[in-house]
C-alpha cells in the first residue's frame, strides 16, 4: 500500500504524431519512431476530400491502414477531421451552399463515425472555425457558416454524438498562444464559443490547440497560454496540443543554433503543459523534418534566401527528428514532459 505521503502518479500525457499510411509499411527509423507514439493522427488521409472525393464512393483504405497499425501496437487514433473548409470536396461545398440541407453533413458523419465507433475514440469534429479579422461572432466565412449559419459548430457536435455516443468530441484551432492582438482575440473568441456550446448543453469534450509555433512571432506568452488552458479546463473540457511544430525560417543560422531555438520554443509550451492536468496529449505534426508540411511554407523563404531546397541542412528543423531521423534537442524536451515508449 503506497505511503499516504506518496506523490500522486504524474498524469499519463500521451505523445502523438501525425502520420501518413505510406510511412507505416517499410521498416525505417521513422517507423521505429512512430511505434514510440501513444497516439496517431492521419495528417491528411482522414479528411473529407481524401475519403470521399466522389460523392457516395468513400475510400476507407488509408484510415483502415492507420487503424490496423495502431491497434497492432496498442496505440490510439484521433479522427482528423470531419469538418474543415480546406479539405471539403467541391461536390459537398456545392450541395451545402445550394441546398442548405443538414443531411449533407449527417451523411458525411454517418460515413465515418459508425464504422470506426470503438476504434477511433476521439474526433476533431470541426477544424479551424475561428475567424481572425472579421466574421459574425468570430466565425470564419466557410461553406459551413454560409450554408448553415453560426450554429453549424454546435449542430455538428450534436450530430456526431448521436452517431457515436462513446467518442470524445473535439474542436481544434490555431494562433492561440502568442502575446499579440490576433492571438488574444482568437483566444477570447474560442473561450466565448466553448462557453456558448457548453451553456447550450451541446456535447464538447476537448479543445485542440494546434501549436504551430513560429520563431518570427517571438516566444509564446506562457502566462496567457496557461490562463487560456485553465479557463478552458474550467469550462469542463480537456485540452490537447494537436499539431506542434516550429517554423524557423532564418536558414542562414548555424544548424545547432536553429535546433536550440526550436527546442526552446517547444519547451516554453511544454513547461505550460506540464502544469495543466487538463492536457492529456501532445501531438507533433510529423516526426521528421523531411516529411514536414513546413517545407512548402519555406520554399518561398528558401528562394528569398537563395537556399537550395535539396540540402537537408536547409530544411526547416521544427520537428523532433531531422531529415536523417537523428533526434534533436526538441525530442529530448518532449521526452522530459510526455509518456513516450
Ligand atoms: O497524396 C497526394 C498525392 O497522391 C498527390 O500526387 C499529391 C499532389 O496533389 O497530393 C498528395 O496529397 C497531398 C497531401 O498533403 C500529402 O499528404 C495534398 O495534395 C495536400 O493538400 C496535403 O496537405 C496537407 C494539408 O493539411 C491539407 O490537408 C498537409 O500534408 C498537412 O500537413 C496539413 O495539415 C493541416 C492540418 O490538417 C490542419 N492544421 C493545419 C495543418 C497544416 O496546414
Q: Which of 169, 209, 205 is nearest to 190 (CA)?
A: 209
Judge whether residue 250 has pLDDT over 90. no
Q: Among positive and negative, which fits the CA dihedral 141, 147, 150, 151? A: negative
- In contact, 116 and 60? CB cutoff 8 Å: no
* Ligand 1 neighbourhood includes 172 CB (under 6 angstroms): no
Query: pLDDT band at residue 252, thresholds of 50, 70 and 90?
Result: confident
Q: How far apart are CA 257 and CA 324, in angstroms?
A: 18
Query: pLDDT band at residue 137, thresholds of 50, 70 and 90?
Result: low
pTM of the model: 0.94
- Between the CA of residue 312 and those of 17, 19, 168, what are the distances in Å? 21, 20, 39
- In contact, 242 and 211? CB cutoff 8 Å: yes
In ligand 1, the atom with minimum distance to the C-alpha of 243 is 39
- Beta-carbon contacts of residue 62 (< 8 Å; ≥ 6 apart): 21, 42, 45, 46, 50, 51
How many C-alpha atoms does 40 have within 13 Å on its Cβ side? 31
pLDDT of residue 310: 47
Mean pLDDT of 252-265: 92
Judge whether residue 143 has pLDDT over 80. yes
Neighbours of 28 (CB within 10 A): 13
pLDDT of residue 295: 81
- Beta-carbon contacts of residue 35 (< 8 Å; ≥ 6 apart): 73, 341
Mean pLDDT of 156-172: 98
pLDDT of residue 11: 58
pLDDT of residue 276: 96
C-alpha of residue 324 to centroid of ligand 1, in Å: 22
pLDDT in tens, 56-65: 999 999 999 9
Which grid cell sits at 152? 453549424
Judge whether residue 309 has pLDDT over 70. no
Global ipTM: 0.95
Judge whether residue 109 has pLDDT over 80. yes
Query: pLDDT band at residue 337, thresholds of 50, 70 and 90?
Result: confident
**Upstream peptide bond of 307 is cis (omega within 30 degrees of 0):** no
pLDDT in tens, 47-103: 999 999 999 999 999 999 999 999 999 999 999 999 999 999 999 999 999 999 999
pLDDT of residue 23: 97
Which grid cell sits at 291? 516529411
Active site residues: 243
Q: How far apart are CA 88 and CA 123, in angstroms?
A: 17
- In contact, 258 and 308? CB cutoff 8 Å: no
DSSP 8-class letter at 126: E
C-alpha of residue 295 to centroid of ligand 1, in Å: 12
pLDDT in tens, 195-248: 999 999 999 999 999 999 999 999 999 999 999 999 999 999 999 999 999 999
* Ligand 1 neighbourhood includes 20 CB (under 6 angstroms): yes
- Partners of 39 in the β-ladder: 16, 76
Ligand 1 mutation pick, 81, 286, 293, 318, max ligand atoms within 8 A of CB: 293
Quickly list H helices, 76-180: 90-99, 103-116, 143-148, 152-163
Q: Among positive and negative, which fits the CA dihedral 287, 293, 299, 300? A: negative
- Partners of 115 in the β-ladder: none
pLDDT in tens, 9-49: 555 799 999 999 999 999 999 999 999 999 999 999 999 99
Residue 78 sits at φ, ψ, to 5 deg, of: -105, 130
Amino acid at each position: 500500500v503506497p505511503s499516504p505521503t506518496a506523490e500522486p502518479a504524474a498524469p499519463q500525457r500521451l505523445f502523438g504524431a501525425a502520420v501518413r499510411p505510406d510511412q507505416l509499411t517499410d521498416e525505417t527509423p521513422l517507423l521505429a519512431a512512430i511505434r514510440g507514439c501513444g497516439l496517431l493522427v492521419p495528417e491528411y488521409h482522414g479528411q473529407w476530400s481524401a475519403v470521399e472525393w466522389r460523392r457516395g464512393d468513400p475510400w476507407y483504405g488509408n484510415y483502415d491502414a492507420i487503424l490496423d497499425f495502431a491497434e497492432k501496437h496498442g496505440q490510439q487514433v484521433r479522427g482528423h477531421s470531419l469538418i474543415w473548409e480546406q479539405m471539403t470536396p467541391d461536390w459537398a461545398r456545392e450541395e451545402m451552399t445550394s441546398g442548405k440541407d443538414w443531411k449533407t453533413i449527417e451523411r458525411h458523419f454517418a460515413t465515418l463515425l459508425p464504422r470506426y465507433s470503438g476504434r477511433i475514440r476521439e474526433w476533431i469534429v470541426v477544424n479551424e472555425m475561428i475567424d481572425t479579422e472579421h466574421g459574425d461572432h468570430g466565425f470564419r466565412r466557410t461553406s459551413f457558416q454560409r450554408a448553415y449559419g453560426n450554429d453549424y459548430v454546435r449542430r455538428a457536435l450534436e450530430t456526431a454524438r448521436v452517431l457515436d455516443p462513446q467518442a470524445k468530441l473535439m474542436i481544434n484551432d490555431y494562433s492561440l498562444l502568442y502575446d499579440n492582438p490576433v492571438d488574444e482575440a482568437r483566444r477570447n473568441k474560442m473561450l466565448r464559443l466553448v462557453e456558448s456550446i457548453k451553456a447550450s448543453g451541446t456535447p464538447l469534450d476537448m479543445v485542440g490547440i494546434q501549436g504551430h509555433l513560429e520563431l518570427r512571432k517571438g516566444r509564446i506568452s506562457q502566462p496567457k497560454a496557461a490562463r487560456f488552458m485553465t479557463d478552458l479546463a474550467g469550462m469542463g473540457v480537456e485540452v490537447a496540443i494537436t499539431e506542434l511544430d516550429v517554423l524557423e525560417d532564418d536558414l542562414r543560422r548555424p544548424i545547432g543554433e536553429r535546433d536550440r531555438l526550436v527546442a526552446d520554443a517547444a519547451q516554453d509550451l511544454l513547461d505550460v503543459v506540464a502544469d495543466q492536468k487538463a492536457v492529456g496529449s501532445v501531438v507533433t505534426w510529423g516526426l521528421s523534418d523531411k516529411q514536414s508540411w513546413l517545407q512548402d511554407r519555406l520554399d518561398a523563404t528558401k528562394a528569398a534566401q537563395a537556399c537550395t531546397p535539396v540540402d537537408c541542412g536547409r530544411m526547416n528543423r521544427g520537428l523532433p527528428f531531422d531529415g536523417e531521423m537523428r533526434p534533436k534537442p526538441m525530442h529530448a524536451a518532449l521526452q522530459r514532459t510526455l509518456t513516450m515508449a
